[in-house]
Structure 1
């Protein structure tokens, strides 16, 4: 019994090791189908679980008329990048801009490991559709309508401002209060002046006319 148990435990451990090795050499991607208008752009990504094992890989492409995949290289329209998610995994991304009909086909991630092992992710099918002329015309007309509405709104606001300034006379400005000192703002008190007029008696006599003293006649004799 002991020997059988040891064999079973060894077999289970071997299976776990195989499972770990399999998980550490995996390409995670989602099977997808996309429709992209001609002249547009697309972004795709996958995750490579390597657990620190040396590997090489990238994105491969198969067009509609081909039967094999070819490796994608960066160009003016195609941008390839990779960055580490964790210590054990790396994400591969591809960005294609200004898509044309020759970009239609299947895309997937392809990796090569040691001991001549190869892994691939699920395929993403890209279908390139014709560019919609109606949508471009609608977008142009929409832009024209937006510009026209902005000009009309600005004219309306400008006219309203002009009417408010011309129709209603502006109130006269309030004169500023002079900043004078406290002593200047205090009204001076009125002083009471007492005047004394003294008439000179002699001066008054000079101005009065002299009265002629008539003699008093008690009796008169006439012959």
Structure 2
């Protein structure tokens, strides 16, 4: 795997498990880092290593520039996932991260690299629909107040950050940089994956199409399942904390 080595700040393992026989590799959502996933280590058994991909411009990669386009971020994420593929793995992506995970898997398939045992996409419409207004949530034109409400709802801002104008400015900058990347996504015509796919979505999530299962099935050549869970885009707090328990491949 030496050909796929990346910086230690790119793939974070919050609770290293040297004896683990598999990994759950997670890709972030719009405006997010690795923080929302870190508590999942406690929900995984000792056989499973949690590996979190950090995108440029945040956390340990703060000094790096944000990705400017989807293509730029996808190349970065593909290298990161391959660097984490030192054992069998399941690839997970939430919201924008679901499209990124699908894109990464199709790239690895084309390259002949080590494929995940399963691809799990969460709170994410099928990519072959193309980007629609339903997917532009949050939107680039949202005000700071609207973005703040979104970030507060999904727990992206610790309490002290809201009273620090400098930290808030960085949070808005990060969110808008990710929105621009998301909005530059274009589905490669005909792209499909033969990796087993599981789709998770919240029953109260207004972002998700009612036909989500049928639409995702169109880009999946292998085993497929779709599961609805309580709550909205980030489910209920209890479901989110224990989300790995709903991943069939683990």
TM-score range, shorter-chain basis?
A: under 0.3
Q: Indicate the structure with greater helix content.
A: 2
Relative to its length, the structure with more strand (as a share) is 1
TM-score by length of 1: 0.21
